Amino acid sequence: MLYYAIADIHGCSAALDALLDQVAAHAQSVHGGRDFKIVLLGDYVDRGPDSAGVLDRAIALEAAGHVVLPGNHEQMMWAALTGQDAGYDAWARWRRNGAETALRSYGLDDEDGVDASRISPLHVAFLNRLFDGRPVHYLDRTDALLFVHAGVTAEAPLADQRTEILLWQRLAPDDDRKWVEGLHVVHGHTPRPRPIRNTHRTGLDTGAVYGGVLSAGVFVDGALSEILSAPGLTAGSIAPPWG
C-alpha cells in the first residue's frame, strides 16, 4: 500500500492544504497514479489559527475514505464539549492546552467556558465518532505498520495498550526499542525540529505550529521512502518545545 502519514497539524490549515497538494502531485508523478491512503495522526486543533478549518478538511478526508485518527488534543476538546470523561475538570485541562485559539476559530472566546451548541454540529459529531469505541490506531499487518498518535509501550501487545498510552505517551528521540508485535510504529505527538527516522519507528511531528514544517511520511509497501513537507507558522510565533 502507498501511505502518506501526516501528524500534528494544530490549526495550520494553510500548511495542510499545501501538503495535500504535494501529496496528490507526488502520488501521480512518482507513483504513477497508484491508489493511496492519507493517514492523519491526530492533533488537528489548538495553538494554531484555524482549528475549525482543519477539522473541515479532516472530515472531508474521512468521507473520501482516508484514515483519520484522534490525538490527545481532540480528546481534550471532546471531553470539554461533551463531559464524557469524568474525574477531572475537562474544560480547565483543555484551556491549559490551547482551547483559546481553537475557540477563536469559531468566533468565540474562552472567558466563560464553552457552550457546545456554538460549535459546528458537524465537528461535534466528528469528535464523537473519533471516540465512539472504534480503535484510536490504524493497523496494516500486511505492510507491518501501526499508525497511532503518540506511540506504544514497547513490551505490551496491542490488545494491552491503554488508550491513554496511545494518545499521550512521550517517546525520547533515541528510543528505538522494537515493539513486541514487530510492526513499525508511525506516530506524531512528540515535536522535534526534524522527523525521527529510527529502525522501529517514525516520528512525524515536526512542529508546524512552532515555526517548523508540516511533514508527510511516504510509506511504500511498508517502507519509509521519503518525507514531504510544507512550511508551518512563521518562526517565533509560538516558542518551540525543543529549545
| pLDDT(237) > 70 | no
- For residues 49-69, give the mean pLDDT: 98
Q: Radius of gyration over alpha carbons of the chain, in Å?
A: 17
Q: Name the residue ranges covered by the structural domains of the chain.
A: 2-231
**Nearest residue to 44 (alpha-carbon basis) of 12, 76, 20:** 12
pLDDT band at 86 (very low <50, low <70, confident <90, very high): low
**Nearest residue to 222 (alpha-carbon basis) of 186, 173, 188, 179:** 186
Q: Provide the 3-class DSSP secondary structure of residue 226.
A: strand
Q: Provide the 3-class DSSP secondary structure of residue 230.
A: strand
| pLDDT(218) > 60 | yes
Q: Are 151 and 169 in contact (CB under 8 A)?
A: yes
pLDDT band at 240 (very low <50, low <70, confident <90, very high): confident
CATH pick for 2-231 out of 3.40.50.300, 3.30.70.20, 2.40.50.180, 3.60.21.10 = 3.60.21.10
Tell me which residue has cell 492546552: 97
The CA dihedral of 10, 210, 13, 106, to the nearest 10 degrees, is 60
Percent of the chain with pLDDT over 90: 83
pLDDT in the model for residue 236: 58
The cell for 105 is 476559530
Q: Which helix (H) or strand (E) holds 103?
A: helix 99-104
Q: Are 124 and 84 in contact (CB under 8 A)?
A: no
- For residues 128-146, give the mean pLDDT: 96
| pLDDT(238) > 90 | no
The cell for 130 is 473519533
Q: Provide the 3-class DSSP secondary structure of residue 10.
A: coil
pLDDT in the model for residue 60: 98
Task: Give this prediction's pTM.
Answer: 0.96
